[in-house]
Amino acid sequence: MAFTRITNEELESRGATTLPDAPTIPANQLKQEFDAPAKEVVAPAVNHLMEELEAHTAAGSIGVDPPTGRSGDNLQDLLTDMSDAASSLILRESVTVSAGGTVRIPSSGTDSRISTASTCIIEPVCDYKSDGTPYAFKSCVASDGYVTITMAEAISNVTIGVRVTNI
């Protein structure tokens, strides 16, 4: 979507420039003719532009010069590229734990993607039960390269993990 622009034709068809050089109309009507372009063209166009900028599709019309290592011709494409690059999924397979038990992700070594020092969203992810509902988590805490997930219910032979999104 491109943003709407005011055209010369819209401006030229309104206002004092359309009047004769020697005005023949009353002063109050002459004032209205001077104000007409602003009231009839500019104000509605600015209000329409505000609506376009507030729309969820606006980022797709705002051009960008992406920083090194990033891609996108517009703000939406750049945000998508950055989001895709910032998100990672870290999994542990075949986990069995009782209700109230904990799962530590990653299972061995520390992972620099998980840090309490960085600003990130840590979201627990898990296989679904046979009835299609997700398993319940009690808590999810990140520290020292690990995420510790406390399960609200028992799981057996389930893949569990975290999606880490750096913001």
Q: Which pLDDT score is estimated for 117?
A: 56
**Maximum distance among all alpha carbons in the chain?**
92
CA dihedral over 72, 74, 80, 85, signed as positive or negative: positive
Q: How far is CA 124 from CA 134, 138, 163, in A?
A: 11, 10, 6
Provide the token pair at 42.
């500019």
CB distance 72 to 78 below 8 Å: yes
Task: Encode pLDDT of 77-119 as tens digits.
Answer: 988 887 776 677 788 888 999 999 998 888 666 677 776 555 5
pTM: 0.47
**Cα–Cα distance for residue pair 146/107, rounded to 1 Å:** 8
Residue stretches of the chain with pLDDT short of 70: 1, 85-86, 107-110, 115-120, 166-167
pLDDT at site 116: 59
Tell me the pairing of strands 137-143 and 120-126: unpaired
Which residues 6+ apart lie within 8 Å of 133 measured at CB? none
66, 72 in Cβ contact below 8 A? yes
| Distance separating alpha carbons of residues 53 and 45, to the nearest angstrom | 12
